Structure 1
Amino acid sequence: MAAPRRLAASRVLAGFGLATLVALLLADLDLARPDPWLTLRRIGGGLVAPQIGDPAALARAAALTVAFAVCGVFAGALAGFGLSFGYRLRPIRGLCILVRSVHELFWALLLLGITGLGPLTGVLAIALPYAGIFAKVFAEYLAEADPAAGRALPRRTPPLSRLLWSRLPLALPELGAYTLYRLECGLRSSAVLGFVGLPTLGYLLETDFRQANYGAAAATLGVYLALILPIRYWMRLRLVPLWLGISVWLLSRHPTPPMGDGALWRFMNDAVPAPIRSGDWAGLWPWLGKLLGDQALPGVIATLILSQLALALAAAVAVIGFPLIVRRVAGRMGALLGHLALVLSRSIPDYMLAFLILQVTGPSMIPAILALGLHNGAIIAHLMGRQGDALVPKLRPDAPRGLRLAAWELLPRLSGNFFALCLYRWEIIVRDSAILGLLGIATLGFYVDAAVQELRTDRAVLLLMVAAMLTLGIDTLSGWIRARMRLSAPGMRRAEPEQAEAA
């Protein structure tokens, strides 16, 4: 049977370009603020003169941000490590796909009804999706380890023992490096959990902005950046037991609000659709049709519109941004400044960045598009810039410099990686577009949040299932396009291209 015809990059680009134009026509791009420049000036004044009103509260929020991240990531790593040995089994693989397709904030919203605003909610909200991610990545690392050592074992050695004694020792350095990389992601997730009420830096940031206390908000943002920017220096593998012990101690001292007996049972009962709980099976289909038609369908459409525009912006940011960190293009000082700009853009979580822009523009798709485009574009640009720097010594001696080098030499050579990275990030952008509905944008997250606020757990669970299926559908479509284009990003795992940073 003949191999399927290769999908041309021009056709993919034309298809995404057409989708972007359609999304641009349908998007809500109105500025709701009467005077956004006045708000911007006030925020700028706060950034210039940050104020630490309560140092003890700020220090405690910073410590709990780190504690939630460390405990959540290592709980997820432990669970993912165990699941990775059976990842080839369809039920385990399906479970991992399901838990990682739901955003940490969605998990937190669900868990609030079971464990309340306690430490367990924050730890599980990070650990559950990360367990699915770790299982997939760890399984790939183990599968790709050199099998030569296994040939020295007796022929009748059980498969699990063969894996533990031959492949695991070879994969351990990569497992450790990836876990440290995930800690950086976990720190971003932990900070964002403050927006649903957990006592992390995100909670202080939201409170200060709601009260127009921009100086205190700037101080909180500065503390967050002071934690995450040098994380590779203070979070070393040999120091992990120390940080884990301190984090467990901090969370054990944090008060847990009483939830009453039977909280889990009440949640499971409320998650059953209302017609079934009342015994009205005939009313199930009308209930389902109304929910899907009035909330799920508009939410899916808004999520796809937002994510398409964000993907287009991310692609533009990547093309413009990657030459900024190539020394032969931008120069030594220019590359340093470009690297700083990209690090800042990818270090601030897209949800937090959207919240900050929302204070200026008001509720519309604009802050979400800008936040998702800048954050994901900076990630792609950083990876392409590293690849471009590695390509420069291999170019011919008379190769041009500056922008001509980027346009005529580097970009054509990196075009395959560019498409691959954009398609990798597409699924993540769609997942994050759904969660940005918590900020008032009418994506799926908006309807999930409304259902949670109204204590309609059955509606929230069904809408989360729709969000998960949408994410999985985009991931499948992205994989199909990459396969038809025969794309792969050199030096990057199939699971997460940005994990190359962990190397």
Structure 2
Amino acid sequence: MFSSPTVRVSFLFVAIALVALLFADIAITAANPWKDLGRFFMGVITPDFFSSEGIAVALLRTVAFAFVGVALGSLCGFVLSLVYRNPVVRTFCAFIRAIHELFWALIFLQFFGFHPLTGVLAIAIPYAGIFAKVYSEIFEEADPTPGRLLPPRTGVVSAFLYTRIPDCWVQLRTYTAYRLECGLRSSAILGFVGLPTLGFFLESAFSQGHYSEAGAMLILFYVLIATMPLWVKPKLLPVYILGAPFFLGEGLPIVWGNVERFFTQDIIPSPLRNGDGLSGLMPWLGDVMATEALPGIWNTLVLTQIALVATGLIALLTFPLISSHFGGPARRTGGHIFLVIARSTPEYILAYILLQLWGPSMLPAVIALALHNGGIIGHLIGRQSSAIQLRPDAITGFNRYTYELVPRVYRAFLAFLFYRWEIIMRETAILGILGIYTLGFYVDSAIQNIQFDRAMVLIVITALLNIGVDILGRFIRRKLALQTMPTC
């Protein structure tokens, strides 16, 4: 059953979201949004798979960037996980994973240009921080018994390879496979900043009103994600990883002088660069905070809290679609398809589509964030609810949902929700590139105006904000003793 602190925290977050709605812009500004939405769905129903030769190339490069970026990120993350207990390493990993892949891409574009290295590093760097954290947690939870059975004087490396790795191998492999799926989504959205992945061709198709072509790209992307267990085989991974770099495409040669100038001049605050010293730095920082950082932080927090509660509502409404305690096989199959589509569609792509159809406001972002994250949590909670054993005489229908299952999975649901909180904030910030006034909007504007020093300050603020929310989420989970396993 619900505990009193759990109920209070739930109502507190709902109240915060309702207050945030008063300050949010959720209007639909398009002249005929439902007609445009109908045209889009008609395009999905009647996809044109042969309209452009670029579709196959886009998918191939999306896969290539994902494999190379995730492979590099997992390798670096594995090395970092071995020394993750070091506070400096832990802080470094928290910082690099708090910056979204698109922000990293925007940074590297300034000195690498549209080079494959830009996309690879944009995925690899934040993923290295994520892998380091998760791998270290997996190693810490490993059974210490095998290590005690080793002969005396066994070396540290040998003990690690012969005891820790075999014990953790299944978890490491499972999580890495999940990250590869995430890498495909990250790779797809890199196209929105100009790299030759799916997002680039999708944006082009939408801007020209070619909805059937856009629908074909989305369908192929869903098929790519859904069939991963069929084509991502352990024996084939070395082939994929070794072959992927050859399909990244070519870019202009890297001008290393631009790299040096970026770090030694471009990102140095202009008062320091111009010789004004600290006397000019404080007014400059004050102007950045007043005109860009504070408005961006406010809108990011408002949108995050609304999206967080909306995510919770979607998850609670959708988990019965796949639960074995409701409906038959046909209904559960339909539920699985819906949740696969919801969680496989990158928030950025869904928000972009809805913005094109409904006009600029926070509403497309809220729906995109809620559907994607709600689909993930709904899938996890639905699977957990199916494992719950009910009495033969248990009540049925809506009462089974409200009195039997929701109380048993609610704590696990909250644990997953607070875990996704920091992820929702990362996505909220980056959605500003689409024109929503979150921190990403001001970062993108500063870069467009060649004000890289202001952009870096805003990116650091974004990272610190994400780290703060992550710490708060972990504190709440620990305070409420929330676990991701349901009550039996």
* TM-score, normalised via structure 1 length: 0.93
- The question of 1:382 aligning with 2:379 is answered yes
How far residue 159 of structure 1 moved from its aligned partner, in angstroms, is 4.1
Matched, 1:434 2:429: yes
Alignment of structure 1 residues 281-296 onto 2, 5 Å: 281=277, 282-296=279-293
Matched, 1:168 2:165: yes
Matching residue's letter, 1:95? F
Tell me, in whole angstroms, the C-alpha distance in 1 between the residues paired with 2:473 and 2:107.
Answer: 29
Deviation string for 1:133-177 (max 9, x for gaps)? 111111111111111121133555454443233212221222122
SS at the partner of 2:328?
helix
Q: Which residue of 2 aligns with 1:464?
A: 459
Contact kept in structure 2, 1:112 and 1:121, CA below 8 Å = yes
3-state SS of paired residue (2:326): helix
Letter in 2 for 1:75: L
Q: How does 1:345-424 map to 2 (within 5 A)?
A: 345-391=342-388, 394-424=389-419
Kept after mapping to 2: 8 A contact 1:176/1:237 = no
Q: Once superposed, what is the RMSD of the aligned Cα atoms?
A: 1.5
C-alpha displacement at 1:45, in angstroms?
Answer: 2.7
Residue deviations 1:301-333, cap 9 Å, x none?
000111111111111111111111112212221
CA distance change for structure 1 residues 161 and 458 in 2, over 3 Å: closer, same or farther? farther
Partner residue of 2:302 out of 288, 295, 305: 305
Aligned match of 1:82: 79
Shift in Å at residue 272 of structure 1? Answer: 1.0
C-alpha change, 1:327 and 1:120, in structure 2 (3 Å) is same
Paired residues of 1:29 and 1:366 also in contact (CA < 8 A): yes
- Tell me the distance in 2 between the aligned counterparts of 1:319 and 1:402: 15
Unaligned runs of 5+ residues in structure 1 are 1-5, 492-503
1:231 aligns with: 228
- Structure 2 residue 441 is the aligned partner of structure 1 residue 446: yes
Q: What is the alpha-carbon distance in structure 1 between the residues aligned to residue 229 and residue 119 of structure 2?
A: 23
What letter corresponds to residue 445 of structure 1 in structure 2? G
The yes-or-no answer on 1:279 pairing with 2:275 is yes
Task: Report matched runs for 1:89-168 at 5 Å.
Answer: 89-168=86-165
CA deviations 1:320-374 (Å, max 9, x no partner) are: 1111111221222111111111111000001111111111110000000000011
How far does the alpha carbon of each residue in 1:48-74 deviate from its partner, in whole angstroms, 9 at most, with x for none? 322245543211111000000000000
Once residues 144 and 48 of structure 1 are traced to their aligned partners in structure 2, the CA distance between those partners, rounded to angstroms, is 47
Asked whether the 8 Å contact 2:293–2:439 carries over to 1, the reply is yes
Give the C-alpha shift of residue 126 in structure 1: 0.5
Q: 2:215 aligns with which of 215, 218, 229?
A: 218
Question: Is the CA contact 2:111–2:255 (under 8 Å) kept in the aligned structure 1?
Answer: no
> Which residue of the partner structure matches residue 11 of structure 1?
8
Structure 2 unmatched ranges of 5 or more: none
CA displacement 1:268-300 (0-9 Å, x = unmatched): 021111111111111100000110111001001
CA shift, 1:468, in A, is: 0.5
Cα shift at 1:258: 3.0
* Conserved? CA contact 1:7–1:485, under 8 Å: no
* Native 8 Å contact 1:76 1:126 kept in 2: yes
2:266 matched to 1:270?
yes
Task: For residue 259 of structure 1, report the CA deviation from its aligned partner.
Answer: 4.1
- Identify if the C-alpha distance between structure 1 residues 480 and 362 changes in structure 2 by more than 3 Å, giving closer, same or farther: same
1:206 corresponds in structure 2 to 203
Q: Is the 8 A contact 1:100 1:132 kept in 2?
A: yes
Contact 1:7 1:481 in 2 (8 A): no
- Matched-pair contact (CA < 8 Å) for 1:7–1:484: no
Contact persistence 2:112–2:255 (CA under 8 A): no
Partner Cα distance (2:478, 2:328) in 1: 37
CA distance, structure 1, for counterparts of residue 323 and residue 169 of structure 2: 32
Q: Which secondary structure does the structure 2 equivalent of 1:327 belong to?
A: coil
Aligned pairs, how many?
482
Give 1:211 shift: 1.0
Q: Distance in 1 between matches of 2:222 and 2:50?
A: 18
CA distance in 2, matches of 1:169, 1:422: 31
- Most deviating of 297-306 and 49-58: 49-58
Contact in 1 for aligned 2:384/2:485 (Cα 8 Å): no
Q: Could you say what secondary structure the match of 1:262 adopts?
A: helix
Matched to 2:76, the amino acid is: A
Give 1:425's aligned residue: 420
Tell whether the 8 Å contact from 2:40 to 2:211 is kept in structure 1 after alignment.
yes
One of 50, 56, 67 as aligned partner of 2:64: 67
Question: 1:250, CA displacement in angstroms?
Answer: 1.5
1:77 maps to a residue whose letter is: S
Structure 1 pair 408–159 and aligned structure 2 pair: CA distance change class (3 A) = same
Question: What is the CA–CA distance in structure 1 between the aligned matches of 2:258 and 2:327, rounded to whole Å?
Answer: 58
* Residue identity matched to 1:290: D
**Higher mean Cα deviation, 104-113 or 326-335?**
326-335
2:179 aligned to which of 178, 182, 185: 182
Q: Secondary structure, in 3 states, of the residue corresponding to 1:328?
A: coil
